[in-house]
Structure 1
Amino acid sequence: MFKLESHWVLRGDVAILSDNNQLKLIAEDGIKNIKSHNSAIAKLLYLLSTTGVVLEIEKEPEGSLLRKLKEANLIHTAPPCGMTPLQSVQWSWNEAVAPNQEMSQQLYNSSIVIVGCGGTGSLVAQSLAGSGVGSFVLIDFDKVSMSNLNRQFVFGAQDIGQYKADILAQRLMENQKVVKTKSIILEITSSRQLARLATGANLIICCADEPKGAIQDYVANAALKAGTSALFGAVGINNGTLGPLLREKPSFQAYLRWIREVHSVCKKIIIPARFPSNGITNSIVANLMAWEALQYLAKIGPSKIDACILSLDFRSFELTKKQVFK
C-alpha cells in the first residue's frame, strides 16, 4: 500500500537551538551539535521541518549534513502521497519510533484476534487501531450494560443492550478507519474453536478473565494450533499483570502447565473473588499491553514480558517479575 516518498523530513521530536553561532538539534535521546550556523544550513533545516527535501543517499557526499542527519536517525521519509490525515500522523509517529523500518506497512498488514472486548480488550483494540493495525477479529458474547461505562469508554449509554464486539467493530471502522474488522458473538469453550477463528492472525490477545484458568488455557492452546503468538494481561484493584507474551513452543508448554495448576486451585474455590474495575487502572494495563503488542508486530525492541509475567503495583508503579515460562 505505502509507496515511499523521496522527500525526507525532520523527526517530530527534534527541536533546533541556535547557541553561540552553533546549531544544536535537541531530541529525546540527547543533543547533536552541528557546524557553525549559516544561512544555507538554516534554510535546509527549515525545509526539513516543513515540506521536506529530496535525499538520494548514494549521491550525498561523505560528511554532508543530510547524510549525518540520516545516520543519526534525525530525519525520516515523508508520509507517502495519498495518505489520509490520520494515516499521515500514524506514519510520522511510527517513523520517529523506528525510522526506515517499514513499521507502518507491518502494522497495516497485521491481523489481531482479541478475546474479550470489555475493560481491557476495547482499549487495547482502540490503541492498536489508532496506531495503524489493519485487521481485527473481535470475540465476545457479552452486551453493553450501564455498569460498564465507568471504564469501557468506547461504549455510550445509547449502546446499552447491544453486543460489545459489534459496537467496538463499528467504532474502529468509523473512528480509526481500520481496514477490516470482524465481530464474533461467541463464548469460547475450546481451543479448537478459537484456533479456527485465529487462522492467519499474527497475534491473539487474551483480555478475558473468565472462566479463570480455562480461558487462558484455550487461548494458549489455540495459538499453538494456529501457529501464532499469544499475549495476556489482567487488572486487579491495586495491581495489574502484564504478560506473558508467548512465541516459542517450550514457553507455551511451561505456561500451560502453570495455568492448569492455577485452574485446579480455582476449582476448589467456594466463593470467587469479585474485582470492581476502574477506568484508570484498566487503561494503564490495556495500553501497556497494546505497547507490547505493537513492538511485537512491528519487530522493534525486545519485549519485557517475553515468556514471563510482570506484576505492576499501581500505587508505587513498581514492576516485579512474578513468573517465568522458559
Structure 2
Amino acid sequence: MLKKESPWVLRGDVVVLSDGDQLKLIAENGIKSIKPHNSDIAKLLHLLSTTGVVQELDNESEGSLIRKLKDANLIHAAPPCGMTPLQTIQWSWNEAVAPNQKISQQLKNSLIVVVGCGGTGSLVAQSLAGSGIGSFVLIDFDKVSINNLNRQFVFGVQDIGQYKADILAQRLMLNQKVVEAKSIISEITSSRQLAKLAKGADLIICCADEPKGAIQSYVANAAVQAGTSALFGAVGINNGIIGPLLKNRSSFQAYLRWIREVQSVCKKIIVPARFPSNGITNSIIANLMAW
C-alpha cells in the first residue's frame, strides 16, 4: 500500500544518458526516453539518484515525470529511517524486484529450514540471508573436511572437524546479521522427526542426499505435516536439478508418486553414481534455488 507522501529514489540499475534534446533512462528491462531534456528534469533525476524526492502521489497528474517513472518501475520507495547499511541495500534490491509489496518485511519475518548444509545448502542459506531472510533452522550431521573446500565456501581450513550446521549458523548471524540461525546436528530419519523441527516454517529446502533414496520423501511428507512448502535441488558434474517447488497437496502427491517410481528403479542399481561436484555447479544451482 502506497503512502500519500513517500520519499522516492531512482532504481540502482538505472543509467541516465544525455542524448541531444532528450534524456534516456536505461535499465535492465529497457529504455525510457524523456523529451524535452531540460535542467529542471536533470536536477530532479539527480535528486532521485541521491537523496530522494518526497512526493504526494495522489496529487501527481498522470502525465507527470514522477508518475511516469513510478509506472515504469524506475523509482521505488526509499528505505525507512533507522535501517543499517546492510538493511538499506537489501531494501533497495527487494523494492527493485517487487516494488511496493513490503517484501523486505516479509523476508525478515520468514523462517526457512535448510536440510543439508554442504555445497548447495550453505550457499542457498547465504544468498537468502543476504536477501533479508530473518530466521533459519539448519539441519546437518556432517563435519567439515578438507575435501569440502573446493565447493563449500562458507567453510575454511580452520573449520575442519567442526559441524557444518554450527559454522554456517555462526556465519549467517555474524556476516548477514540474521535474527536467528538455529543449528540442529542430526540425520533426518523420518518425516515425523523433520515435521517437528520444521514447525512454523515458511519453507523447507532440501539440499541433502542422505539417506539416499529416502530424504526427498521425508522432506515432502514433513512439509505436508507441517503445513508448509518444500523446494528441492541437487547438483551433478556439469549440470544440476532445481525443484520442484511444492506448494499444494496435489503437487506433493504427484511428487511422492514419482519418488516411489524412482525408488523402485534404485533397487536395481548395483554400483551407484558418486556425482563429484565443485563450486561452479554448486553456486549456479544454489543461487537459482534462492532466487
For Structure 1 versus Structure 2, the TM-score category normalised by the shorter chain is over 0.9
Which secondary structure state, in structure 2, belongs to the residue aligned with residue 90 of structure 1?
Answer: helix
Q: 1:154 to 1:17 in 2, by over 3 A?
A: same
Greater CA deviation, 168-177 or 103-112?
103-112
Alignment of 1:191-202 (within 5 A): 191-202=191-202
Report the TM-score when normalising by structure 2. 0.96
Q: Which residue of structure 1 aligns with residue 265 of structure 2?
A: 265
Deviation, 1:65, is: 1.0
CA contact (8 A) 1:5 1:80 kept: no
- CA deviation map 1:144-190 (0-9, x unaligned): 11111111000011111111000000000000000111100000000
Letter of the structure 1 residue corresponding to residue 258 of structure 2: W
Counterparts of 1:165 and 1:45, CA distance in 2: 46
Distance 2:253 2:167 in 1: 35
Task: State the alpha-carbon separation in 1 of the partners of residues 192 and 4 from structure 2.
Answer: 41
Change (3 A) 1:112 1:45: same
Note the 1:217-256 alignment, pairs <5 A.
217-256=217-256
Q: Deviations along 1:27-85, whole A, 9 cap, x unmatched?
A: 11111121211121111111001100001101223311111111111111111111111
Structure 1: how far apart are the matches of 2:35 and 2:240?
A: 49
Contact 1:212-1:263 at 8 Å conserved across structures = no
**In 2, are the aligned partners of 1:5 and 1:79 still within 8 Å (CA)?**
no
Equivalent in the alignment of 1:322 = none
Aligned counterparts of 1:142 and 1:188: Cα–Cα separation in 2: 12
What percentage of residue pairs aligned between the two structures are identical?
83
Deviations 1:173-232 (A, max 9, x none): 000000111100000000000001111111000000122220000000000000001000
Structure 2 residue aligned with 1:74: 74
| Contact residue 195 and residue 225 of structure 1 kept, 8 A | yes
In the other structure, the counterpart of 1:86 is: 86
What do the CA deviations read for 1:116-152 (whole angstroms, capped 9, x no partner)?
A: 0001000000010011111100000111111111110
Q: CA RMSD in A?
A: 1.5
Task: Name the residue aligned to 2:204.
Answer: 204
1:233 Cα deviation (Å)?
0.8
1: distance between equivalents of 2:167 and 2:5?
A: 36
Report what 1:27 is aligned to: 27
Match of 1:129 in 2: 129
Matched position secondary structure for 1:107: helix
Match for 2:91: what amino acid?
W
Cα deviation, residue 90, structure 1: 0.8
| Cα distance in 1, alignment partners of residues 4 and 285 from structure 2 | 35
**Residue in 2 that maps onto 1:158:** 158
Pairwise CA distance, 1:271: 2.8
Answer whether contact 1:213 1:263 (CA < 8 A) is retained: yes
Instruction: Within 5 Å, give how 1:282-321 maps onto structure 2.
Output: 282-291=282-291
Task: State whether residues 6 and 56 of structure 1, in contact with CA within 8 Å, keep that contact through their aligned partners in structure 2.
Answer: yes
Question: What CA distance in whole angstroms lies between the structure 1 residues aligned with 2:5 and 2:58?
Answer: 16
Secondary structure at 2:35's aligned position in 1? strand
* Match of residue 170 from structure 2: 170
Q: Distance in 2 between matches of 1:264 and 1:31?
A: 53
- Gap regions ≥5 residues in structure 2: none
Residue 4 of structure 1 deviates from its aligned partner by 11
* Partner Cα separation in structure 1 for residue 178 and residue 236 of structure 2: 30
Distance 1:276 1:85 in 2: 38
TM-score, scaled relative to structure 1: 0.86
- Give the letter for the 2:272 counterpart: P
Q: In the aligned structure 1, how far is the partner of 2:32 from the partner of 2:42? A: 15
Q: CA deviation at 1:264?
A: 2.6
* Aligned counterparts of 2:73 and 2:223: Cα–Cα separation in 1: 36
Runs (4+) off by over 4 Å:
none
Counterpart position of 1:303: none
Q: Which runs of 5+ in 1 are unaligned?
A: 292-326
Equivalences for 1:178-193 in 2 at 5 Å?
Answer: 178-193=178-193
The amino acid that maps onto 2:214 is A
Aligned to 2:13: 13
- 1:21 to partner: Cα distance: 1.4
Alpha-carbon distance between aligned partners in 2 of 1:61 and 1:238, rounded to the nearest angstrom: 53
1:151 counterpart SS class: coil
